[in-house]
Structure formats: C-alpha cells, structure tokens
C-alpha cells in the first residue's frame, strides 16, 4: 500500500520530507529511553500579539495568542515518579475578538487530519485572519507568495483555536513509549480532549458556546472527541462541523482491492468519478448541469451498480457488459477497461486513467487539478498533482507569518506533516465495546453516542464534489447510516461545493463555506441577539 494513501491530509505532500524533521526538538520514544536520562519537562509558552481583519466589510480587532499547552504524565494517568513518563506540548494559535465577553462569544477548535498533518491548511487557507493566495486548479508559481486579509475569516462568528496534533507543527512529544501514548485513534482523541478542557480552564471559556471543526482525518477525530467530551468530561458541544468526512475506513476509495467482498467503496466513489469526468470534459454526452447529473449517478450507484457488484462471479456476462457501458457513460473510462477491472476501479486507478490520452494524472485531494503522470504505464497515480500544486505556498506563508506576525517559533522547526502513519495505532474501542475492535476503523458509533446523549447537538457536513480522498457521497452515506433515532437525523445539515478536499482552495467555495458555517454557529450558539 502506498504510504500517501493513508495520508488523508488537506493539501499536503503524501509523505513528509525527512529534511523537515527536527531531531533536537523531539525525543525519539522507544525502549532505549528506559535507561536514558530523562529530558527536561515541557513548559507552557505564550506569545501575544494584536491585529485586525476585515470580514465582509466589518473590521474585527482581535488578540492573538500563539503558544503551547502541556499534557503532563499526571494528565495522562502515568506514574508521577517516572521522570521519563510520556508527555506532550501541544501548539495552538488562538484568536479572540477584543472587548467581547467570553460567555457571549462562541469558541471553535479547528484541526486538520492525516493522521500526521498540522493545521497550517485550515489556518492559512480557510478561516485565519490572513490567507495565502493560490491558483484555482493549477500549479501555483513559486515564492514570493501573496498573503492577504482573509475576507472569509470565521472571526466574525466565533473565536478560533487552531491546534496542531502531537508530533506535528510545533507540537512535540517526549518520554518512554510516547508514540504509544499519542499516536493512535484513541490516544489522539484523549490528547485533544485534555487539550480542550485545559484550554477552557486557562482562558475562562467553560461557559462559551463550543464547536469542533475537523477536516479529513480530523472528522474521524471529531467523532471520537465529541463522545469523549460529552460522556467523560461533561462538556456538551453546541455543534460539530465536519469537512471532507471519513468515519468508516472501509469506505475509502484508496485500496478497496485489499478488502475483497466489501464493494461499498466502489459504489460511494462513483459520483466523484462522474463529477471529475464532467469537469474534464471526458463524458461521451456531457450534461449542462452537474448536480442533476450527480443525482442520476447516485441512484445508479446505489441501485443497479451495487446490485451487480453484490452478485460477484454470478453476474451474467451480458449484464456485466451493460453495467460497464453505463459506467463508461458516467465516467468516460473505456468499456473494456471497466470489464477487465471486473467493474471495480479504485481511486488511484481512476486518477491515472481518466486523462490517459494526455499522459496526465488527476488530483486525489482535488480532481480538478492535473499534472504529468510520473509513469504513464503505471497502474495507479503515483503522486497527487493538487498537493504538488499548492503545498509550498501554504508552508512558506505560515512559516513567514508565524515568525514575523505572531512572533513565535524563531528557533524551532515547523512540521507541516509527520509520517505518523508508520506507527499509528488504528485499533479503536467504540462506545459500548469491551475492548478495541479489530479491522478497519469505524467511529460512526462515537458520533452517534454523542448525539444520543446530547440530543441538542447539531452536525454540519461539508464536502466537495471533486474530492477523491474522502468522496462526498461517502460522507452522505455514513450520515444516513448513523445508528441514531430517525428524529435525530434532523440535527444533521449538509452543504456541497464545486471544489475538492480543501473546499476553501476554490475562492467562491470558501465564501460559501464561511457563510454556511457562520450561519450554522449563529443558529446553534444559544445566544440571545
């Protein structure tokens, strides 16, 4: 399996360059540390600045805090006498509207995914007060990059806290077996829950309306986190905002061929294949409008296509040929390719094959992007043209901004992405289970438990039509299959955009995303106007 298939990050390289590592800033955990001298304990840091942003004509003055909160061995339930017990220093940048009472201001915690991604993408591309400008669907030229006032910053609706996961960005871990203490579905959720409760205490925000905003694997984290906060920390959330969702990894379009007999991923990816072919003018008979076309594809995917796949080798040859012809009409891939693929084409194969006549590969995170295939004869895409097109702009812009404007990190290395997938523990113990479950991660029970125990909790799912890392129809399917009473389905709202995984990388979609999220917060914050 290609490493980058697991890197469900927003706009980052599939695997981080080893040159980004900062050996002096992070102790390598492991058995050797049992006899090594204990590192000095982490100390919280805090650097304050002031600024302003203009959002839709409204000037908002804010106080910015760049700093760290420390998760101590005591927080983690470790032996306090063990000087080499694991601990973490979690980096954040918080923006507080000036002269606003805490109980009258919503508070939103934002993070990207990976696992192994920092939150530079949401910070510099979506909702921070400054935004880096990138090309819409092609490669952004090298530096100097343009950083501008973010007209769509979410500071008009909420105070914001951008958090880097342990081991990413400026966040660090240390101590014996620290990787086991932080690098896994459940340890990661616990770390973020501890961070949030510590933050609420430090900044006096316990009585503020509270929101989670997770992207990509950050949506997986949000499901776990919503359950932990609500049912273990007694923190009822007002809302959970999901962007580019994946809650059940059996639904991933990356490598379903390694999970034969489970065909759902092929079904849920098909509408994104169709949207991509529509965008690149590869359909035999391209319809004028995308949305009605996708509705037709969705009905076919859940109907005739799913039924055909369910038959396996019992599918009659004539019916198989008819389905392949329909798939050709919806995706532009040749009929014989679909037949040879046994009607099952994974995401990497589609990315490589759609533009085969030009030897180009489409993006994965955003299939509107394309670039020269590294190997025109390979079976699957070998890189993501979208990541290659915009990652440098985000990384350079944030490194410049955090040091020159926020005055933080002068002697530190910022890790946009770390290869945490190499040691990530994918085992997960869902609510009600007596032990971590084997098999693919599925955190749908976690979100369902949070919603059932807090029936006022609202959820907003945002997704891009051209996202093949976490296809939009996958998120819709998962929400429709949450184990919750029908009455709670009304607590879920949906918004879809003509963009990819990083919805905000498309400027018109960024404005739509801002307006939709701001309205969601205003509708659920329980504040009297």
CA atoms within 13 A on the CB side of 159: 28
Q: What is the CATH number of the domain that holds 222?
A: 3.40.50.1820
Q: Scanning the structure block, which residue is given the tokens 């009585």?
A: 207
Q: How far from 447 is each of 12, 246, 282, 323, 461, CA to CA, in Å? A: 27, 12, 38, 36, 13
DSSP for 308-365 reads HHHHGGGS-HHHHHHHHHHHHHHH---HHHHHHTTT---HHHHHHHTTGGGTEEE-SS
pLDDT recorded at residue 36: 59
13-55 pLDDT, tens digit each: 333 332 223 333 344 444 444 455 778 889 999 999 999 999 9
Query: Is residue 415 assigned to a domain?
Result: yes
139-158 pLDDT, tens digit each: 999 999 999 999 999 999 99
CA distance 111 to 31: 31
Quickly count: other Cβ atoms within 10 Å of residue 427's Cβ. Answer: 14
Q: How far from 184 is each of 114, 173, 430, CA to CA, in Å? A: 11, 13, 14
Residue 366: closest CA among 2, 3, 9, 1? 9
Q: Kindly state whether residues 244 and 259 are assigned to the same domain.
A: no
pLDDT (average), residues 60-76: 95
Number of domains in the chain: 2
Q: Kindly state whether residues 339 and 428 are assigned to the same domain.
A: no
Q: Kindly state whether residues 139 and 127 are assigned to the same domain.
A: yes
Quickly count: other Cβ atoms within 10 Å of residue 112's Cβ. Answer: 37
pLDDT recorded at residue 528: 74
Query: Is residue 120 assigned to a domain?
Result: yes
pLDDT at 167 exceeding the cut of 90 = yes
Cis peptide before 144 (omega within 30 of 0): yes
CA torsion angle 508 216 169 25 (round to 10): -170
Q: Kindly state whether residues 135 and 233 are assigned to the same domain.
A: yes
Query: Is residue 529 assigned to a domain?
Result: no
350-371 pLDDT, tens digit each: 999 999 999 999 999 999 999 9
Secondary structure class of 423 (helix, strand, coil): coil
pLDDT recorded at residue 37: 75
Q: Kindly state whether residues 216 and 110 are assigned to the same domain.
A: yes
Select from 323, 355, 386 the last residue of a domain.
386
Q: Kindly state whether residues 266 and 403 are assigned to the same domain.
A: no
Percent of the chain with pLDDT over 70: 93
Q: Kindly state whether residues 402 and 379 are assigned to the same domain.
A: no
Query: Is residue 217 assigned to a domain?
Result: yes
384-441 pLDDT, tens digit each: 999 999 999 999 999 999 999 999 999 999 999 998 888 899 999 899 888 888 889 9
pLDDT recorded at residue 38: 77
Q: How far from 324 is each of 38, 292, 329, 344, CA to CA, in Å? A: 62, 21, 9, 10
How many residues in the chain?
Answer: 529
pLDDT (average), residues 110-120: 96
- Per-residue confidence at 264, pLDDT binned at 50, 70, 90? very high
Secondary structure class of 149 (helix, strand, coil): strand
Select from 368, 386, 404 the last residue of a domain.
386
pLDDT (average), residues 172-190: 95
Q: Is 151 exposed, middle or buried (0-12, 13-18, 19+ CB in 10 A)?
A: middle
pLDDT recorded at residue 83: 80
Cis peptide before 115 (omega within 30 of 0): yes
Beta partners for residue 111, in sequence order: 214
193-206 pLDDT, tens digit each: 999 999 999 999 99
Query: Is residue 211 assigned to a domain?
Result: yes
Q: State the residue range of the domain holding 476.
A: 3-250+390-524
Q: How far from 114 is each of 227, 380, 442, 466, CA to CA, in Å? A: 20, 21, 16, 19
pLDDT recorded at residue 32: 46
Q: Kindly state whether residues 192 and 90 are assigned to the same domain.
A: yes
Q: How far from 19 is each of 263, 396, 415, 416, 417, CA to CA, in Å? A: 39, 15, 10, 12, 12
Select from 342, 371, 386 the last residue of a domain.
386
Q: Kindly state whether residues 358 and 221 are assigned to the same domain.
A: no
pLDDT at 79 exceeding the cut of 80 = no
- Per-residue confidence at 173, pLDDT binned at 50, 70, 90? very high
Using the 8-state DSSP alphabet, how is residue 417 labeled?
B
Residue 165: closest CA among 144, 189, 141? 189
Query: What is this structure's pTM?
Result: 0.93
Quickly count: other Cβ atoms within 10 Å of residue 132's Cβ. Answer: 26
pLDDT at 221 exceeding the cut of 80 = yes
Average pLDDT, the chain: 92
Query: Is residue 286 assigned to a domain?
Result: yes
Q: Kindly state whether residues 77 and 161 are assigned to the same domain.
A: yes
pLDDT at 11 exceeding the cut of 80 = no
Q: Kindly state whether residues 283 and 405 are assigned to the same domain.
A: no
Using the 8-state DSSP alphabet, how is residue 79 labeled?
-
Q: Is 429 exposed, middle or buried (0-12, 13-18, 19+ CB in 10 A)?
A: middle
Q: Kindly state whether residues 89 and 215 are assigned to the same domain.
A: yes
pLDDT recorded at residue 529: 58
Residue 520: closest CA among 492, 497, 496, 489? 492
More confident residue, 122 or 79: 122
pLDDT recorded at residue 20: 28
Using the 8-state DSSP alphabet, how is residue 466 labeled?
T
């Amino acid at each position: 399996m290609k490493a980058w298939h697991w890197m469900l990050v927003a706009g980052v390289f599939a695997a981080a360059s080893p040159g980004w590592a900062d050996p002096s800033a992070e102790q390598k955990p492991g058995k050797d540390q049992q006899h090594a001298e204990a590192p000095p304990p982490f100390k919280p840091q805090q650097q304050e600045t002031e600024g302003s942003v203009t959002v839709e004509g409204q000037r908002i003055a804010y106080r910015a805090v760049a700093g760290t909160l420390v998760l101590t061995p005591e927080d983690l339930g470790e032996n306090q006498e063990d000087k080499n017990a694991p601990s973490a220093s979690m980096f954040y940048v918080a923006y507080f509207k000036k002269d606003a009472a805490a109980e009258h201001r919503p508070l939103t915690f934002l993070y990207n995914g990976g696992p192994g991604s920092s939150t530079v993408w949401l910070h510099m591309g979506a909702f921070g007060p400054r935004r880096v400008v990138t090309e819409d669907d092609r490669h952004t030229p090298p530096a100097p990059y343009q950083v501008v006032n973010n007209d769509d910053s979410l500071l008009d609706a909420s105070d914001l806290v951008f958090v880097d996961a342990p081991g990413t960005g400026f966040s660090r871990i240390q101590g014996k077996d620290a990787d086991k203490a932080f690098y896994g579905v459940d340890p990661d959720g616990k770390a973020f829950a501890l961070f949030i409760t510590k933050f609420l205490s430090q900044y006096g925000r316990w009585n503020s309306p509270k929101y989670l905003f997770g992207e990509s694997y950050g949506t997986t984290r949000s499901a776990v986190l919503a359950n932990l906060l609500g049912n273990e920390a007694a923190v009822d959330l007002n809302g959970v905002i999901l962007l580019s969702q994946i809650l059940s990894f059996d639904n991933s379009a990356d490598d379903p061929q390694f999970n034969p007999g489970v065909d759902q991923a092929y079904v849920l990816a098909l509408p994104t294949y169709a949207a991509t072919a529509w965008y690149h003018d590869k359909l035999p008979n391209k319809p004028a409008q995308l949305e009605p076309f996708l509705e037709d594809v969705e009905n076919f995917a859940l109907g005739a296509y799913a039924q055909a796949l369910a038959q396996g080798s019992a599918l009659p040859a004539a019916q198989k040929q008819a389905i392949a012809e329909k798939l050709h009409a919806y995706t532009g891939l040749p009929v014989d390719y679909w037949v040879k693929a046994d009607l099952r084409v994974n995401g990497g194969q589609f990315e490589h094959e759609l533009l085969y006549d030009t030897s180009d590969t489409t993006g994965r995170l955003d299939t509107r992007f394309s670039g020269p295939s590294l190997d025109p004869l390979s079976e699957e895409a070998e890189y993501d043209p979208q990541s290659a097109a915009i990652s440098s702009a985000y990384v350079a812009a944030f490194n410049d901004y955090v040091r020159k404007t926020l005055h933080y990190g002068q002697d530190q290395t910022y890790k946009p992405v770390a290869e945490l997938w190499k040691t990530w523990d994918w085992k997960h113990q869902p609510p009600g289970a007596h032990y971590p479950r084997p098999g693919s991660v599925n955190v749908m029970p976690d979100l369902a438990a949070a919603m059932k125990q807090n029936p006022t909790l609202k959820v907003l799912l945002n997704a891009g039509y051209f996202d093949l890392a976490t296809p939009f129809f996958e998120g819709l399917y998962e929400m429709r299959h949450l184990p919750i009473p029908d009455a709670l389905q009304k607590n879920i709202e949906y918004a879809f955009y003509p963009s990819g995984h990083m919805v905000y990388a498309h400027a018109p979609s960024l404005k739509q995303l801002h307006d939709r999220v701001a309205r969601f917060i205003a509708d659920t914050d329980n504040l009297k106007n």
